[in-house]
Amino acid sequence: MIGRRVMRIEDIERPGDYFGPTTAYTGSLPAVFFLKPNARDEGALARSRSVQHVVSPPHTFRECPDGSLEIRNSISNLCRGDAGGNTDDGWHGYLDEGHVWRQV
């Protein structure tokens, strides 16, 4: 999926939209907020439909020459601390250069 980088968190509307990095909502840790590609899939869980975020660290963010953002490590499908897989939201992957969401 090709997403889009938006200028404000309020502009996150469609699957693949993302905003950040920003520290406006997470104290001193830079964060990127997004709707995962499966956010509007039929039967998607409530958590899947919600804006989620990752922070640095442990993730890293790279500003790309085309204005997109790359996020590493992978964006998990589980809530933090869930080793049993009880919160699986159905999408695990990366945000790559070019606004590309890549599922693994």
Return the H-helix or E-strand segment holding 5: strand 4-5
Radius of gyration of the chain (CA): 13
Locus of tokens 């204005």: 67
Residue 16: predicted pLDDT: 98
Return the H-helix or E-strand segment holding 101: strand 100-103
Return the H-helix or E-strand segment holding 49: helix 46-49
In the structure encoding, which two tokens stand for residue 19, read together?
Answer: 């905003």
Structural domain spans, the chain: 4-103
Instruction: Read off the pLDDT band of 10 (50, 70, 90).
Output: very high
Tens digits of residue pLDDT in 43-102: 888 889 999 999 999 999 999 999 999 999 999 988 888 888 778 888 999 999 999 999
Residue 85: predicted pLDDT: 78
Is the pLDDT assigned to residue 24 strictly greater than 90?
A: yes
Residue 93: predicted pLDDT: 97
Is the pLDDT assigned to residue 7 strictly greater than 90?
A: yes
Segment 25-33 mean pLDDT: 96
In the structure encoding, which two tokens stand for residue 4, read together?
Answer: 């889009």
Query: Which residue type sits at 81?
Result: G
pTM score, whole prediction? 0.93
In the structure encoding, which two tokens stand for residue 103, read together?
Answer: 């599922």
Please choose, from the candidates 7, 82, 94, the residue with its C-alpha nearest in 3D space to the C-alpha of residue 54.
94
Is the pLDDT assigned to residue 34 strictly greater than 90?
A: yes
